[in-house]
Amino acid sequence: MTAPPTRSTRRWLLTSNAELRADGVFAWTLPAFAGRLPDGRTYNTCPEASACADLCYARSGTYRFSNVLAAHQRNLLMVLDSPWAWEVAMKRELQHRRYRGAIVRVHDSGDFFSDDYLTRWVRIMNASRQATFYAYTKAVRRVRRIVEPDPPANFRWVYSLGGKEDHLLDLDTERHADVFPSAEAIGAAGYADQSRSDVLAVAGPPKVGIPANNIRHLLKRQAGRSFGELQRARDAQLTAKKGRHHGSTDDRQRVPPSAAG
Ligand code: SF4
C-alpha cells in the first residue's frame, strides 16, 4: 500500500512571490512577449508591447529559468487550448477561502493578448466578488472597448507606457504607469513612486512611477530615460520615416511624364 501524500499536490493557478506576498497579492502569469511553445507554435502575449520589450525584466533572469518558463507556458497552453476549462478552473479556484478579501494581480508578465481572453477575465472577475483584481496593461484599445463601458466592480487597471498605443492616452488625465531608471527620476518627473507596494499602481496617485529593476544590462539599454520617453522617441522616428517615405512618393509624382519615361 502506498503512503498518502504528506503535502498537497494541488497546482494553484494563482501564485505569489516574496514581493507580492508582503502585500497579500496573488498573481496570474503568462510568458512575456514572444516565444515558441514546446510543440513549435509561436506566440505573442504582449502584442501592444513596443519599447518595453527590449527592456522587459520578465525576458531575463529567473523568468528564463527552464522550470519557470515551462510553468508560464503551461498557463498559456491552458488558455490557448482549453479556454473554457481554464475559465471554469479559475472561477472555481477563486471560490477558495484563501481568496477571501485577497488581491489578485492579473499578469506578473504578459498582457490581455486577445478579445476572447480579456472577455473571459471580465467574466471571471464578475463571478469572483470575494477578491479584488488589478492589472497593468498596454492593450489600450482593447480595454477601452471591452472593459471601460461596464467594468467589473472589483477590477482596477493602469495603462503602462512603453507600448504601441501610448499615443492614445491623455497623460494629464488618465491613470498610467511609467518605468524610470531611478527613484530620483520618478520624483523629478512628478510621478508617485509605487515601490512601497505594487497595489499603489491602482490605489495611489494616478501618475505611477516604477523604478526599473536593478538588472545592469537593461539599465544600460534604458540610457537614463523612462519607457514612456523611449516610446515617444520611437513614435517620432516612425512618423518622420513615414513622412520621408510619403515625401519621396510625392516627389516621384511631381516628375513630369516626359522626364520620367
Ligand atoms: S508588456 Fe510587460 S511583460 Fe510584455 S514585453 Fe512589455 S514589459 Fe514585458
- Binding-site residues, ligand 1, Cβ < 6 A: 32-33, 46, 49, 52-53, 56, 58, 109-111, 138
pLDDT category at 61 given cuts 50, 70, 90 is confident
Ligand 1: nearest atom to the Cα of 109: 3
**Higher-confidence position of 158 and 19:** 158
**Distance from Cα 61 to the centre of ligand 1, integer Å:** 14
Residue 252 predicted with pLDDT over 60: no
Domain ranges of the chain: 18-244
The secondary structure of the chain, three-state, reads: CCCCCCCCCCCCCCECCHHHHCCCEEEECCCCCEEECCCCCEEECCCCECHHHHHCHHHCHHHHCHHHHHHHHHHHHHHHHCHHHHHHHHHHHCCCHHHCCCEEEECCCCCCCCHHHHHHHHHHHHHCCCCEEEEEECCHHHHHHHCCCCCCCCEEEEEECCECCHHHCCCCCCCEEEEECCHHHHHHCCCEECCCCCCHHHHCCCEEEEECCCCHHHHHHHCCCCHHHHHHHHHHHHHHHHHHHHHHHHHHHHCCHHHHC
pLDDT category at 191 given cuts 50, 70, 90 is very high
pLDDT value, residue 4: 44
Ligand 1: nearest atom to the Cα of 46: 4
pLDDT category at 1 given cuts 50, 70, 90 is very low
Mean pLDDT in residue range 67-71: 93
pLDDT tens string 204-245:
999 999 999 888 888 888 999 999 999 999 999 999 988 887
What is the pLDDT of the chain when averaged over all its residues? 90
**For residues 88 and 3, what is the distance between their CA atoms, to the nearest angstrom?**
31
Ligand 1: nearest atom to the Cα of 110: 3
Ligand 1: nearest atom to the Cα of 55: 7
Counting ligand 1 atoms within 8 A of each CB, the residue from 54, 138, 164 with the most, and so the one to mutate, is 138
pLDDT value, residue 214: 82
Of the candidate ranges 34-43, 69-78, 172-181, 210-219, the one whose mean pLDDT is the lowest: 210-219
pLDDT value, residue 210: 96
pLDDT tens string 3-38:
444 444 568 999 988 878 888 899 999 999 999 999
Which residue puts its alpha carbon closest to atom 5 of ligand 1? 53
